[in-house]
Amino acid sequence: MIIIMERDASAENIQAVTSLLKEHGFQVIVHEGDVHTVIDALGDKTTLSPGRIDAMEGVKKIKLIREPFRLASRDRQTEDTVIEFENGVKIGGANRPVLMVGPCSVEDNYEGLLKVAVAAKEMGCQFLRGGAFKPRTSPYDFDGLGEKGLQYLAKAKEETGLLVVTELMDSTDLDLVCRYADVIQIGARNMQNFKLLKAVGKCDKPVILKRGQSSTIREFLLAAEHIMYNGNEKVILCERGVRSFDSAFTRNLLDISAVPVIKKYSHLPIIVDPSHGTGQRYLIEPMAKAGLVVGADGIMVEVHHNPACALSDGKQSLSIPQFKEVFARLNTLIDTLHLEKNVSLSCVE
């Protein structure tokens, strides 16, 4: 930790900071510059919060050396985390990228859902996604079927063998959702719902954590840290676009570079969601490809049996025939680039 004092900090201010640091076992070096005094502190930040020093009189700024996330950091674990499911499917590391598809919300039409699931199975997907509880910006919009939706997902799993991904919105529904889901999804709007992170941190299901709409990569990894800190290390990150100043052509700005950045600083798997990331059907294919070539461990795409009638997100969903066309090309890309072997991902440091 490096502490930069204000131009007009007094000797007492400086003394107060160094004393506190020493009390907490830090090694301290003071540089008196022409303008600012700079204090260098080496030690374990867990024993003294930087915020506390930041608030002292005469302190201008604190600069941290190490990233504040630990369990999620490559500094702690250099090899990639791989998450394995009962049926042998694996996410992360050198494994073939996984494919997750399904409607935004599970609607009261089991036949429609099953059609999507059957097509998904046929195209080599491993996961069926669908929301039974839906966060909606407006209270006037459809907010999900609830348990009935979960039952439909379970039934489709039974018929196809696909693993089920579904969103948890409130800690009170945790047990219910765990009964049906193979992977629990935490939505973007709940990325910093810390009670919810704590709750899923205490269960043993893998968790897909979606990046908040304006969360930095650091906050994203710290949200993962909350889950891991509570005991669940099976976290799958999901880049799904961030808010930008331009929403005329896309709903969000899909941050493709987040994938290689996170691969460098964390061992956790990361997938890409081009449906929410762009909000536009015609961008799903190119952006899924972009995610794959930069090393994403999977792709999550919205597919609906009849997008024009979808109760949510129809605009960014593929129909079943479109899905087959697009995923045939994605599978070819994965095969051609041998993405399962990570051959093309070596990069210059």
Chain positions 65 to 104 lying near a second copy, rule: CB under 8 A, are 65-66, 68-69, 74-75
Tokens of 166: 């579904």
d(CA 13, CA 31): 14
Q: Least distance in Å: CB of 184 to a second copy?
A: 15
Which residues in the 168-197 window bind a second copy by CB under 8 A? 169-172, 189-190, 192-196
Tell me which of 151, 213, 331, 342 binds a second copy, using CB under 8 A.
213
Question: Rule CB under 8 A: is residue 204 a binding residue for a second copy?
Answer: no
Question: Rule CB under 8 A: is residue 322 a binding residue for a second copy?
Answer: yes
Tell me which of 207, 242, 303, 339 binds a second copy, using CB under 8 A.
242
Which residues in the 109-138 window bind a second copy by CB under 8 A? 135-138
Do 297 and 91 form a contact (C-beta atoms < 8 A)? yes
Instruction: Count Cβ neighbours within 10 Å for each residue of 212-246 and write b for 16 or more, e otherwise.
Output: beebebebbbbbbbbbbbeebbbbbbbbbbbeeee
Q: Least distance in Å: CB of 108 to a second copy?
A: 15
Q: Least distance in Å: CB of 217 to a second copy?
A: 5
Q: Least distance in Å: CB of 112 to a second copy?
A: 14
Residue 289: φ, ψ to 5°: -60, -45
Binding mask 26-65 for a second copy (x = CB under 8 A): ---x-x-x-xx-x-x-x---x--x-xx-xxxx-----x-x
Question: Rule CB under 8 A: is residue 162 a binding residue for a second copy?
Answer: no
Collapsing DSSP to helix, strand or coil, 32 comes out as strand
Burial class (CB in 10 A: 0-12, 13-18, 19+), 51: exposed
CA distance between the termini of the chain? 26
Q: Provide the CA 82 distance to its chain's centre, in angstroms.
A: 15
Q: Which is nearer to a second copy, 160 or 193 (CB)?
A: 193
